[in-house]
Amino acid sequence: MNDTLIRPIRWVLFLALCFLVIGSNVILYQTSYFQPVPNSVVIGSLLDFLLVIPLLTYYFIIRKRYSWKLTLLVALVSYGLASYIIPDFLLNNFSAVPKALLLLEAGFITIELYLLILICKKFPNVKKTYMELPAEIPFLIKMKRAVNMHFVQSRLVDAVLSEVTMLYYALFSWRIAPLTADNTFTYHKNTSYVALQLMLIHALIIESVGLHYFFSQVNHTVSLILLFLNIYSILFLVGQMQAVKKVPLIVSDQTLIMNVGFMKRLELPFSAIQELKTYEGPEEIPATEKKYTFEARVSDFIPEKPEIELVLKKTVQSTIIYGFKKNVTRVIIKVDHSSELKRQIEQKIASEK
């Protein structure tokens, strides 16, 4: 079963299970049949909202796509929903729960702020290294190299770097010309990628206004949390769209540099390529093959078949947003001028022999 079919099934299962959890609690507290509700049952309901729903969200939506810390924000939003369903006189016995959640989230934020302070202290050195790198190198590549020269690689450093890159491309890249050269290849021009992203951004803006207005009448804290999440999501989509437009695939002397926005990255030495061939599989990569495949292409309304497949001699490690790693043994590529890219790769592979 390919990913096109799996994705809607995943959402249907997620929504059905959440509806089951939330609906059973609504019936329990909003009808007189089960009254009075003992404290032990309230504890079970809190576990539903603070443990079950966040775990469902992590498994069906967050896992391998976004930072796991979003699960904490889901727990906060879920508690806000619980406070609307469960009567106040029952929740008063468990007033420490939201405080504990906020303290946990504040702890992670404090760690990242501390790391940000360290980065600011070393900023002059990072800036100097950044300015010494060639001007034609895109921001996300230069920033990564500059930071790695002054910091030990870690998940936290990569997380902060991902956020900085996202904000840069979302807010400050509009006047920067995209990288263009004979050895660069864009991903998006012959696709509807930009239209798809703009549609999602437009939908998020409308959703933000509607949800903020609705929840501000119910729970002001929940409305603010949802507003923050939606604003972050909009910046994320804008930043990714801009990064895709500004940073093409690059054929350097020794490596094939593939950045699909700031979401994933692979620097592949030509010496690691065992075989270059025309891709003959389905338009959507099966889920079982995604585990070891790096996809150098962007999303589209109607997925089109990639043109190029690279079989590797050994496992190569790619980087995903927030510092996550993925070991791959195969690369598929879909760019705007695939025949020219294929010719250049063949020349580079031949020169390595």
Is residue 225 included in any domain, yes or no? Answer: no
pLDDT band at 184 (very low <50, low <70, confident <90, very high): very high
Strand-pairing partners, residue 266, are 258
Is residue 3 included in any domain, yes or no? Answer: yes
pLDDT digits (tens, 9 = 90+) for 334-348: 999 999 999 999 999
pLDDT band at 160 (very low <50, low <70, confident <90, very high): confident
Structure tokens at 136: 């034609």
pLDDT digits (tens, 9 = 90+) for 117-145: 776 777 788 888 888 888 888 899 898 88
Is residue 14 included in any domain, yes or no? Answer: yes
pLDDT band at 24 (very low <50, low <70, confident <90, very high): confident
The residue among 117, 143, 175 that closes a domain is 117
Number of domains in the chain: 2
Residue type, 229: L
**Which helix (H) or strand (E) is 158 found in, with range?**
helix 155-171
**What is the SS3 assignment for 201?**
helix
pLDDT for 13: 75
**Which helix (H) or strand (E) is 23 found in, with range?**
helix 3-30
Residue 252 is given by DSSP the state -
The residue among 64, 84, 117 that closes a domain is 117
Q: Which of 118-132, 215-229, 280-294 has the lowest mean pLDDT?
A: 215-229
Q: Is 55 exposed, middle or buried (0-12, 13-18, 19+ CB in 10 A)?
A: middle
Is residue 16 included in any domain, yes or no? Answer: yes
Check whether 64 has a pLDDT greater than 70.
no
Calculate the alpha carbon distances from 211 to 141, 201, 219 in Å: 37, 15, 11
Q: Report the helix count and the strand count for the chain, using DSSP H and E.
A: 13, 8
Check whether 1 has a pLDDT greater than 50.
no
Is residue 66 included in any domain, yes or no? Answer: yes
Q: Is 180 exposed, middle or buried (0-12, 13-18, 19+ CB in 10 A)?
A: exposed
The residue among 68, 100, 117 that closes a domain is 117
Is residue 31 included in any domain, yes or no? Answer: yes
Cβ–Cβ < 8 Å for 245, 170: no
CB atoms within 10 A of CB 285: 20
- What is the domain extent for residue 98? 1-117
Is residue 199 included in any domain, yes or no? Answer: no
Check whether 224 has a pLDDT greater than 50.
yes
pLDDT for 63: 61
Is residue 108 included in any domain, yes or no? Answer: yes
